[in-house]
């Protein structure tokens, strides 16, 4: 029976990971392979069945002024939400059966405690972002909530306080995005690939960002732009954008981290 471990891997000696330098061409290739995975293992119908009910319930219970922060915050928890898609790409790479039902095979991973722990960290970061965005709005507009969407958009785009909210909110959101990108850009794929523990996975992700700052910044912008398009298309686009980005993330991990023999399932 696999020992329950979270921070460290199963061995007394921490696993070693080697980080490579990559460039924009590697991002393009990762996206191309992510698209290929999506076409070979389409999961858009599953995402449509999940996205609309969840987003509908979530947004219906939220204040108008929190709609944008909540949509932007999707990128903060996205790396964890896409864990099943990483697994599908991993299985396809190994030549194993890889239909969308195998996304749930993640539960058998020896790294599942570390995966859940990192997912919890991202959830906490998301909650901090939500609270920060709310406090920023209250600081600029007070506790008064807009009576309608029309009034909200008028307040945002026709007042100095509204433009201050846009500038400061985006700057604040960028800080949270950089934090999440740094600790998770390759963490989840690494945990699926090797039973290294949370500490090694996060440190490897941070080293990957530090070794490739410009390329990783470009990757973050690609993710943000793709998700923005997905939301702009009344969320329908997310059913295509999210799987492609998730599959591409697996291939990006393969380019950034030197391979090692996968552990046995």
pLDDT digits 0-9 by tens, 95-152: 887 777 777 778 888 889 999 999 999 999 999 999 999 999 999 988 877 777 788 8
Residue 82: per-residue pLDDT: 87
Residue 247: per-residue pLDDT: 94
pLDDT digits 0-9 by tens, 56-78: 666 656 677 788 888 888 889 88
pTM of structure: 0.86
User: Does residue 262 lie within any of the structural domains?
Assistant: no
Average pLDDT over residues 183-188: 96
Residue 195: per-residue pLDDT: 87
Query: Is the pLDDT score of 13 beyond 80?
Result: no
The label of the residue with tokens 């999707």 reads: 74
Domain count, the chain: 1
Between the alpha carbon of residue 162 and those of residues 99, 140, 195, 224, 250, the distances in Å are: 46, 8, 47, 22, 39
User: Does residue 265 lie within any of the structural domains?
Assistant: no
Burial class (CB in 10 A: 0-12, 13-18, 19+), 142: exposed
Binning pLDDT at 50, 70 and 90, where does residue 223 land?
very high
Alpha helix (H) residue ranges in 233-265: 238-256
User: Does residue 13 lie within any of the structural domains?
Assistant: no
Residue 200: per-residue pLDDT: 92
Q: Could you tell me if 208 and 189 are in contact, meaning their C-beta atoms sit under 8 angstroms apart?
A: no
User: Does residue 18 lie within any of the structural domains?
Assistant: no
Residue 142: per-residue pLDDT: 87
User: Does residue 20 lie within any of the structural domains?
Assistant: no
Name the DSSP class of 18. Answer: -
- If phi over 0 gives left and psi between -120 and 50 gives alpha, with beta otherwise, what is residue 123? alpha
Q: What percent of the chain has pLDDT over 90?
A: 49
pLDDT digits 0-9 by tens, 167-179: 999 999 999 999 9
19 in helix, strand or coil? strand
User: Does residue 17 lie within any of the structural domains?
Assistant: no
Between the alpha carbon of residue 48 and those of residues 37, 87, 104, the distances in Å are: 18, 20, 17
Helices 24-40 and 213-232: angle between axes, nearest 10 degrees: 40
Query: Is the pLDDT score of 1 beyond 70?
Result: no
Q: Could you tell me if 215 and 22 are in contact, meaning their C-beta atoms sit under 8 angstroms apart?
A: yes
User: Does residue 230 lie within any of the structural domains?
Assistant: yes
The count of C-alpha atoms lying within 13 angstroms of the C-alpha of 78, restricted to the half-sphere facing its C-beta, is 28
Structural domain boundaries, residue 77: 26-256
User: Does residue 157 lie within any of the structural domains?
Assistant: yes
């Amino acid at each position: 029976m696999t020992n329950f471990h979270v921070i460290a891997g199963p061995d007394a000696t921490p696993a070693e990971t080697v980080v490579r330098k990559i460039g924009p061409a590697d991002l393009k290739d990762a996206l191309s392979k992510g698209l290929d995975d999506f076409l070979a293992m389409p999961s858009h119908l599953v995402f449509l069945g999940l996205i609309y009910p969840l987003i509908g319930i979530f947004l219906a219970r939220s204040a108008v002024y929190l709609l944008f922060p909540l949509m932007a915050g999707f990128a903060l928890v996205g790396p964890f939400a896409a864990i099943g898609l990483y697994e599908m790409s991993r299985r396809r790479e190994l030549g194993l059966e890889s239909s969308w039902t195998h996304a749930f095979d993640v539960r058998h991973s020896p790294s599942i405690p570390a995966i859940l722990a990192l997912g919890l960290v991202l959830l906490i970061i998301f909650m901090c972002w939500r609270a920060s965005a709310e406090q920023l709005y209250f600081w600029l507009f007070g506790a008064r909530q807009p009576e309608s969407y029309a009034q909200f958009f008028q307040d945002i785009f026709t007042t100095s306080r509204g433009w201050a909210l846009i500038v400061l909110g985006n700057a604040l959101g960028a800080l949270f995005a950089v934090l999440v990108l740094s600790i998770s850009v390759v963490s989840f794929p690494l945990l699926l690939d090797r039973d290294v523990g949370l500490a090694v996975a996060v440190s490897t992700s941070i080293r990957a960002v530090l070794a490739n700052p410009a390329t990783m910044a470009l990757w973050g912008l690609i993710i943000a732009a793709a998700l923005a398009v997905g939301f702009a298309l009344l969320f329908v686009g997310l059913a295509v954008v999210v799987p492609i980005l998730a599959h591409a993330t697996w291939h990006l991990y393969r380019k950034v981290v030197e391979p090692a023999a996968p552990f046995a399932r």
